Chain A
Amino acid sequence: MPDIFGIPPQALFGQLLLGLINGAFYAQLSLGLAIIFGLLNIINFTHGAQYMMGAFVAWMLLNWLGLGYWWALLVAPVVVGAFGILIERTMLRHLYKLDHLYGLLLTFGIALIVQGLFRDQFGSTGLPYRIPAELRGGTDLGFMFMPNYRGWVVVVSLVVCFGTWFVIEKTKLGSYLRAATENPALVQSFGVNVPRMVMLTYGFGVGLAAFTGVLAAPIYQVSPLMGADIIIVVFAVVVIGGMGSILGSILTGFGLGIVEGLTKVFYPEASSTVIFVVMVIVLLIKPAGLFGRAR
């Protein structure tokens, strides 16, 4: 196959796929942040740590209990989501009426503690997590060779993201969530148990972060700082997409992953900063973000 803009196609598509995978992680993480922010009015800085915990729960299940990847996809979100619900019940719920800053400080503090505890236990070098046997190897697509696990991650993420979008925008349950995001007191006065809905929503958002962590474990290594590294980029994604927009977070997440991948091909020096450059440009032109409504 001929080169494209002077780049061998295998390299171009390889980077595109890598970008798409990063984008899938960005999309799932910023989606969780958007849902949590919408209903709880909390900027969940613990999100990165909860993603990391998901990966660690997968590692512990495998190495301590002999339970593999498929179990981890199920168990890690439940365990880490339950941890989130505990935080919501005991701490976050006292902050909903206060300024965003309080929630941000609390969740940031929790993230530091959690990361510190994991670093203390496991050190800061990454621990390997093997791709499950069913997804090893790759497929020749003609224009590129695609590792099966990477294809799986992209497909699963798309299903999870758009499934979540569908539930929120198109179902009865979602209409409770949207309404409570606008006016929780009124929705509760109709007989809906809004405090429970808030708790479960936080648990879901946190569980989604943990699920993403399990997906990421075989691609990156499992390390206490993996969440701190990715969350900075995810917050830039959230700012670009517009805080609180569901579809905005999904599209921006995937889109920016691809932009990052392409930058790696054409101008590798900028690949780690391109998202922040985009953020600055978007903020200058549209301060509420690409999909955000001015509040």
Chain B
Amino acid sequence: MAEAMLAVDDLHAWYGESHILHGVKFNIAKGEVVTLLGRNGAGKTTTMKSIMGIVANRKGSIAFEGTETIGLASHKIARLGLAFCPEERGIFASLDVKENLMLPPQVAPGGLGIDTIFELFPNLRERLSSQGTKLSGGEQQMLAIGRILRTGAKLLLLDEPTEGLAPVIVQQIGATIRRLKKDGFTILLVEQNFRFAATVADRHYVMEHGHVVDEFANSDLDANMDKLHEYLGV
């Protein structure tokens, strides 16, 4: 495998006293779309927040393009070119849609232009002066993804972007992810819905109880379906 863009090794993380991640290890090559699958509470969100430094109490190694980030503050990590779209979407109620969209500062050259973002998510253009949280769930998700495409970050961490959305919007987000991959973005995706994950991803990691317990290429998904059903309890 080529030099990893992101290499996570022996990652431990804590919320207060509770030890949540127990030596997570995985990596992502440049240009890949990789998912973290796993049941509720497996530690997928905690893994993403540890990568971003939002969960600051963490140990082990997280190397982004060769730079060790485990000791860095969250804003410094972002400035290396990573961006995070949280599970709860994180749209700001005291900002209108335009302010939400323009909020994340540029961290590197080469982000998508605002017109390209409107092309991906035409709904946003119509709603620019609405209060951020007045949007529908699907529109809020588009806003949450759209705002991190502007910044020039090349590795996107998307935490359950399809959760609770109507099928047509799930399809739109799937198409967006494929398009972003074609544009050269690298994407780490957390998903519960592995059928959706199979339509966008190159590889999958499975998490359980704060460990990565398995790994499949997307092309081997069918062969591993029984195991996967067991991991995910579906």
Contact = CB atoms under 8 A, between A and B. Distances in A.
B99 interface: yes
Interface stretch (A39-47, A157-165, A180-188, A258-266): A180-188
A188 B148 CA distance: 13
Given A172-B102, A192-B105, A185 B92 contact: no
Contacts of A247: none
A185 B79 CA distance: 15
Interface in A165-224: 172, 175-176, 178-179, 181-183, 185-195
A188 B75 contact: yes
A186 B87 CA distance: 12
A191 B92 contact: no
Contacts of A172: 102
A188 B74 contact: yes
Given A179-B103, A182-B93, A183-B92, A189 B52 contact: yes
Q: Which of A186, A187, A195: most chain B Cβ within 10 A? A: A186
Contacts of A192: 75, 105
Interface string B72-111: 0111011100011010001011110001001111010000
Contacts of A194: 75
Given A189-B54, A191-B105, A191-B151, A179 B94 contact: yes
Given A189-B52, A190-B104, A192-B105, A181 B94 contact: yes
Question: Chain A interface residue count: which class?
Answer: 10 to 19
Contacts of B93: 182
> Helix, strand, loop or mixed for chain B's interface?
loop
A240 to B, nearest CB: 21
B53 interface: yes
Question: Chain B interface residue count: which class?
Answer: 20 to 34
A188 B104 CA distance: 9
Given A175-B103, A191-B104, A185 B74 contact: yes
Contacts of A181: 94
> Helix, strand, loop or mixed for chain A's interface?
helix
B94 A178 contact: yes
Contacts of B151: 190-191
A244 to B, nearest CB: 11
Contact of B95 (A178, A188, A189): A178
B75 A193 contact: yes
Q: Which of A175, A181, A191: most chain B Cβ within 10 A? A: A191
Given A175-B103, A176-B103, A189 B84 contact: yes
B159 to A, nearest CB: 12
A187 B92 CA distance: 10
Contacts of A190: 75, 78, 83, 103-105, 148, 151
A199 to B, nearest CB: 14
Contacts of B52: 189
A182 B89 CA distance: 13
Q: Which of B75, B77, B104: most chain A Cβ within 10 A? A: B75
Given A181-B94, A190-B103, 9 more contacts: A178-B95, A179-B95, A189-B74, A190-B75, A191-B75, A191-B78, A191-B79, A191-B105, A191-B107
Interface of A: 172, 175-176, 178-179, 181-183, 185-195
